Amino acid sequence: MQTSHANNLNESKNKGIRDKLQSILPHILIKKEICSLILNQNMYEAVSTNNASVVYAAVTGFVEKKSKYWFTDYQFVVEVYWTNKRTTFIKRSYSDVLRFQDQLLDYFSERLQKGLIKTPVYIPRLQGKRVFQLRSVELAEQQETELQKFFRDLIGGNPLISGNKIVTDFLNRWPTDPVPSADEIPEEDDEDDVLFDR
């Protein structure tokens, strides 16, 4: 009984938040999938690209980000092709991809241990961060090549990977990702970016 009452309170609170957002969103130019992400009760389900799988992901360059600290950081621009014929552009740091790799390793090793899959799923390994090495354009170029190979080897036509929720969530657009068309709001931090295109 208590759980039912708590669920009703949460449902009511979520509805109130959605109603408020719906009243202000028409006044803001915002990407359709971001609206659904904000308005949907389950954020992870909302971020999926209509249950599409990833066909291919290619690193197409990197962006220099100004940092508060004395080193420069980089984000890598990834062009993602989906089974629903959509193409999205995302920006991810090397650290983002390392965390993503760890999530996949944990997920598939747990499923293997529980007997939910019969054979191990191949997850390529990144070299990881280099200790005491300053960030530089040369390092970013090395990481770009490494990430290109990582995504090529990871996706590689394996349906266990290309349709996996961890993969589709990671490769979907986040609010901080590049806006593909001119009729949308440009990113606030575009002035801080220097794109190294390939």
Residues 88, 172: contact at Cβ < 8 Å? yes
CATH assignment of 51-197? Answer: 3.30.1520.10
Q: In this structure, what are the phi and psi dihedrals at residue 93, rounded to the nearest 5 degrees? A: -80, 165
Residue written as tokens 């490494």?
Answer: 146
DSSP annotation of 3: H
Q: What is the mean pLDDT of the chain?
A: 74
Report the first-to-last Cα separation within the chain, whole angstroms: 59
Q: How far apart are CA 43 and CA 167, in angstroms?
A: 15
Considering only residues 32 and 22, tell me which one the structure prediction assigns the higher pLDDT.
22
- With 70 as the cut, is the pLDDT of residue 25 above it? no
d(CA 108, CA 123): 9
Q: Is-above-0.75 flag for pTM?
A: no
> pLDDT tens across 75-105, in order?
999 999 999 999 999 999 999 999 999 999 9
Select from 177, 186, 187, 192 the least CA-distant residue to 67.
192
Under DSSP, the state recorded for 65 is E
- The whole-angstrom separation of Cα 158 and Cα 167 is 12
Is the model's pLDDT at 3 over the cut of 50?
Answer: yes
pLDDT at 68 over 80: no
Percent of the chain with pLDDT over 70: 59
| pLDDT at residue 35 tops 60 | no
DSSP letter for 41, please.
Answer: S
